[in-house]
Amino acid sequence: MSKLLRKPEKREITQGVTLVQEVTAENSQLEYVEFKLVEIAPGAKFSELLGKQECCIVALTGKINVTDHEETFKNLGTRESVFEKVPTDSVYVSNDRRFEIEAVTQARVALCYSPSKKQLPTRLIKAADIGIENRGILNNKRTVHNILPDSDPSANSLLVVEVYTESGNWSSYPPHKHDRDNLPDESFLEETYYHEMNPQQGFVFQRVYTDDRSLDETMTVESGDVVIVPSGYHPVGVPDGYTSYYLNVMAGPTRIWKFYNDPDHEWIVKR
Ligand SMILES: O=C[C@H](O)[C@@H](O)[C@H](O)CC(=O)O
């Protein structure tokens, strides 16, 4: 199995808190992006003290309370399934801060991390304020919820978006990459994809490949999987009948999302 593909591994870390996915600098080749997916039972709590990292806490499903021990945000979350396709609430917490998440209902929470040295204010990112973007034409249409885009100055290095791709469509397509620190033409951003499918038994194909094909992995990705994108183009194809969801975490030396399309497939956008 590709080293870029992480299957879910459920492990109870404290009472009522199950760690499902954990991508760290220690267990991956990433240097900027880290990611956790936790499932929290009603009344259970997950707390963490951040070092020189910032974190975007995304209430994927269910209701949660979040505090940084100065401010408390209650009943965050807008959906029981990501496939309700409505934006959800998130909380940005900066470096050297502590936070605690308490599940009000059974909750699935994404924790998105990246480097941060200059402590910024904790911020509630309300579902109602999330920008929704319809991208693509023909069979590469997708809908993007911009949770923490580079246009939002709330974070130091972190970028977070969620993407819906319908039956028979492609996203992150035409294939693009952002693996060179070469602004204004391209930014260097590592990336993770947390995937879910509807119906749940579905799968998508995701390819991660470089121009010289020194990296060229094509993966069958299922619900709950994480794909790690250290470099290269990273398109996703969705089979007929299924809807794809993924949450992207991106970070690098400069907090700008400037991608570069594979020249072989640039013609796709010119139809
Ligand atoms: O680089 C960003 C990620 O690949 C996705 O967020 C992608 O941009 C989504 C899309 O445009 O299809």
Closest among 25, 121, 29 to 71, alpha carbons compared: 121
Looking at the chain, list the stretches that DSSP marks H as alpha helix, in order from N- to C-terminal side. none
ipTM greater than cut 0.95: yes
CA of 78 to the centre of ligand 1 (A): 23
CA of 62 to the centre of ligand 1 (A): 25
pLDDT tens for residues 120-129? 999 999 999 9
pLDDT tens for residues 30-57? 999 999 999 999 999 999 999 999 999 9
Percent of the chain with pLDDT over 70: 100
Q: Ligand 1 pocket test: pick from 163, 173, 259 the residue with the most ligand atoms within 8 Å of its Cβ.
A: 163
Burial of 43 from C-beta contacts in 10 A (0-12 / 13-18 / 19+) = exposed
CA geometry: angle 211, 215, 220, nearest 5 deg: 115
Q: pLDDT confidence of 138, banded at 50, 70, 90?
A: very high
pLDDT value at position 182?
Answer: 97
Task: Average the pLDDT over 183-195 and give the result.
Answer: 98
Task: Average the pLDDT over 165-183 and give the result.
Answer: 98
Structural element, H or E, at residue 50: none
My answer on whether omega of the bond before 230 falls inside 30° of 0, hence cis, is no
- Residues 64 and 107 sit within 8 Å (Cβ to Cβ): yes
61: its two tokens? 């499903």
Domains detected in the chain? 5-270 (2.60.120.10)
99: its two tokens? 């936070």
pTM (two decimals)? 0.98
pLDDT tens for residues 89-134? 999 999 999 999 999 999 999 999 999 999 999 999 999 999 999 9
Q: pLDDT confidence of 177, banded at 50, 70, 90?
A: very high
Percent of the chain with pLDDT over 90: 100
pLDDT value at position 261?
Answer: 98
| Dist CA 234 CA 177 (whole Å) | 7
CA of 267 to the centre of ligand 1 (A): 18
pLDDT value at position 25?
Answer: 97
Own/partner long-range contacts of 127-131 (Cβ < 8 Å, ≥24 apart):
127/78, 127/86, 127/87, 127/88, 127/89, 128/87, 130/87, 130/88
pLDDT value at position 168?
Answer: 98
With DSSP H G I counted as helix, E B as strand and the rest as coil, what are the percentages for the chain, rounded to 5? Answer: 5, 50, 45
CA of 227 to the centre of ligand 1 (A): 13
Atom 8 of ligand 1, residue of closest alpha carbon: 172
CA dist 235 to 171, 208, 248, 265, Å?
6, 7, 13, 11
| Dist CA 89 CA 147 (whole Å) | 9
Burial of 261 from C-beta contacts in 10 A (0-12 / 13-18 / 19+) = middle
Atom 10 of ligand 1, residue of closest alpha carbon: 172
Average pLDDT value for the chain:
98
| Dist CA 101 CA 104 (whole Å) | 9
Q: pLDDT confidence of 18, banded at 50, 70, 90?
A: very high
